[in-house]
Structure 1
């Protein structure tokens, strides 16, 4: 695509920024979706007390501006050549600010923050929740509607915004006063960035981010009045929900020197799904980063789960809404980093060779549960553990057991998706930092009995936001064109020697997997009742 300045043709490009849990990165993409310039900066997490995790809103904003300027400078291009801007952000991290001055009332409260854990536990054990569960069970019995069955099993989580926001409103008087005066704005990271980029003109989010807060009704596509009323969350502070592909506004020219149209805002996992071009029902994406997030495209209808899969809006572009069913394992990258800090290895790139240097894990099983176990077991009290240690156990055996646990959790999530959605799988693509590990990728393919593709670019969230923004301004014409730009580094084919098979076919990993599943059961409910 070209723009015309002073009678001269000038090539244009797409800017995209991904605000993750540990870093902010910006890429400049050309027409072939190749990266022409990049910049990255660290996200500084704050830990004011044990269990509390925060980010400084102004520091995050400065980091955002820094990476945009840095990426354009790295590309050797000029800011006026940037046709559009796309934004991808971590989910569930929020702040509130003064509607008149734009000054935050407090730091961002991260999705990892545990300050509301007692409030969540109290609600999950409350008579109100028991009554809701009972009513939903009756409605399911009468209607056979799975949505009521899922509601009868639902439990609240600290990872969703709902109770962390309720905690803030209960404990900080200035928030209550601002709400009463109609002077409080709530927003996840994307909303805050839109507000700052437009100098306060836009207070909005998109469907993908809203659907991940826990306060949004993905079936009705609106903020849940029932839930907000139940937990005393004021609807007046919530942002407007707009399409994922939408002209959100122009960046104020004082920020980057020119006005750049903001044409996409996306939650990171949904953006990664779009970056992987998983546009069709049955397409599966596995992101292995800090945690593992497995998503399947369920089409125009949200999936109702009874095993802990979460229905989220993938994206809404024009009238089309695409839903995803999502399962996650919280401690993928966390376990790798923990092992590195214990000096089991010095460089993550060593782990592939270490795991392959031994024939097996010597009977050692690792349970990756620093933050409990998610779907399908859904036990927040499970503990991380090594089991089966022997005098013969070496560092290589321990590393292999950790990497195996990543693939085993992938298998659990995958089988839960197959069992719950009954959707034929079309393709499986993996991204995230851990996907660079060949051992994990090969074992995942073996256990799935399906080929798993790894893209050349691993930062799919940034690319997905760029794709949506580019489609919005005609930089790219269609999703079919985007598929042609998809580049695969390697396709991992399942080896029959290890294949589990739909009927439980015996293979080398059958007894190992069974031992690991026993280890999971022994790790569950470890911390006992409160």
Structure 2
């Protein structure tokens, strides 16, 4: 029998799912990722993971789901990872040279601010504007709006590289490995020490140019990034296995058949294969992704043109908007005593007709698309003597809804889809009925919640691996997606949300440029 073990290395959880021949879920194992946070202020925030510990967790969760699989059965692996978390290592020993630097680490925030205020960026923006005016080419629009972000890999990697003793000698000796999680992990566990970077993962790093389907050598050279350490970009799946895992890890030589970044995998696992399909993920952060087909979208307001997946060197592109703070808001709210069980928050929000004038700005990590202000602060506004915990909980949940609405509306305004697309929602916070219903109300669209939404990224890359293995065809995929619930707009609750939205925008304005 053929099995697929799908591993999702997320920001807060690492999990392995075992799937059967029809992509039926057989077993799940997961562990919490140990995130190390340090730093004295917003400009020096360090968010890191111990790489050897993460590798041990990877081995344990895979071993757990495989322990009852017969040696005679075939097993392939599908891998999806959190994006933009990276590490440098010594190739000759495989030893990491520092802790994994996570995507929300802020060590390069000042470097990004300095570059964005530099004469060079202003000239690049002006040149892009000039060329776009005459050519109307999307690539020049991207140059017109280029800004470096701390969430990108480029500046965090350069800042980290300077702290590694002897890094120049390692580069000269071709002994310095560098990559995001899929590159590091595959180099560490594969039979041939494969050195590769998946297209969907590399596309969000700031090192990739979607308009040429390859590394952005212009930006790389301007920044002084060492090109010799960059891994070759590979397809998400190919006609044969991408690599094999050493037998010493799991007692068998397992092929890796598919690799995707986590949000792209969630889009695939939600059934977002058609042009202008939309997936909303509500997990650690909020991610809204739209399938844009064979064309990368150039945005004026912070949408990112990324590779969804790539086959035969041909990408399917997506436009993505995001917000860093979603599940973390509820974790914090629980820790300060606003509720005892996060599962109660939906009923708490439904129990009151409004927030009683209270507004919440969800900006622990700044505000992303389309506001794009890394210096915004989190805030409650409109507190009154009669404000209750239920009002505070509802205000927090409404802020998640409003951020989704802002991102979605930006997509509608910029991409201008020509047909009504399916909109599907997944992720841990998507279990909250109030949030899902309110998103449906604000978007004034039907929202479909995917079954097992917390596992949709695991399932997405497993579905892709099954295509590579010949277990099913792409034409079979629509019948393999299950919808748990459908939320339809409610006119009465929509009126309340729409009425509050302009006031919330005022609160956002007062919270921007705070630090």
TM-score normalized by structure 1? 0.93
1:370 aligns with 2:360: no
CA distance in 2, matches of 1:199, 1:97: 18
Partner residue in 2 for 1:406: 400
TM-superposed deviation, 1:425:
3.6
Any conservation in 2 of the 1:284–1:425 contact (CA below 8 Å)? Answer: no
What is the aligned counterpart of 1:470 among 444, 458, 466?
466
How many residues align structurally? 507
Any conservation in 2 of the 1:102–1:200 contact (CA below 8 Å)? Answer: no
Partner residue in 1 for 2:486: 491
CA distance in 2, matches of 1:317, 1:149: 27
Unaligned runs of 5+ in 1: 1-10, 500-506
1:157 aligns with 2:149: yes
Deviations 1:245-277, CA, capped at 9 Å, x for gaps: 132111111111111110111100001011111
1:517 aligns with 2:505: yes
Q: In 2 relative to 1, CA 425–319 (structure 1 residues): closer, same or farther, beyond 3 Å? A: farther
Q: In 2 relative to 1, CA 172–497 (structure 1 residues): closer, same or farther, beyond 3 Å? A: same
Q: In 2 relative to 1, CA 206–364 (structure 1 residues): closer, same or farther, beyond 3 Å? A: same
CA distance in 1, matches of 2:496, 2:343: 26
Deviations 1:217-271, CA, capped at 9 Å, x for gaps: 1111111111110111111101111110132111111111111110111100001
Deviations 1:400-421, CA, capped at 9 Å, x for gaps: 1111111111111111000000
Partner residue in 2 for 1:4: none
Any conservation in 2 of the 1:80–1:258 contact (CA below 8 Å)? Answer: no
What is the aligned counterpart of 1:144 among 125, 136, 159?
136
What is the aligned counterpart of 2:36 among 21, 29, 46?
46
TM-superposed deviation, 1:162:
0.3
Partner residue in 2 for 1:97: 89
Q: Superposed, which structure 2 residues align to 1:425-436 within 5 Å?
A: 425-436=420-431
TM-superposed deviation, 1:99:
1.8
TM-superposed deviation, 1:21:
0.7
Deviations 1:311-353, CA, capped at 9 Å, x for gaps: 0000012354210000001111111111111110011001011
CA distance in 1, matches of 2:262, 2:322: 14
Residue range with higher mean Cα deviation, 140-149 or 237-246: 140-149
CA distance in 2, matches of 1:222, 1:320: 11
TM-superposed deviation, 1:491:
0.5
What is the aligned counterpart of 1:123 among 115, 123, 136?
115
Any conservation in 1 of the 2:199–2:233 contact (CA below 8 Å)? Answer: yes
Q: In 2 relative to 1, CA 150–219 (structure 1 residues): closer, same or farther, beyond 3 Å? A: closer
CA distance in 2, matches of 1:82, 1:420: 46
1:460 aligns with 2:456: yes
What is the aligned counterpart of 1:264 among 231, 252, 258?
258
TM-superposed deviation, 1:53:
1.4
Partner residue in 2 for 1:37: 27
Partner residue in 2 for 1:449: 444
CA distance in 1, matches of 2:6, 2:244: 15
CA distance in 2, matches of 1:329, 1:20: 16
1:480 aligns with 2:480: no
CA distance in 1, matches of 2:141, 2:193: 42
Q: Superposed, which structure 2 residues align to 1:90-489 within 5 Å?
A: 90-246=82-238, 247-423=241-417, 424-458=419-453, 459-476=455-472, 478-489=473-484
CA distance in 1, matches of 2:271, 2:5: 19
Deviations 1:94-113, CA, capped at 9 Å, x for gaps: 11111222111211111111
1:28 aligns with 2:49: no
TM-superposed deviation, 1:82:
4.1
CA distance in 2, matches of 1:198, 1:150: 37
TM-superposed deviation, 1:199:
4.3
CA distance in 1, matches of 2:337, 2:71: 44
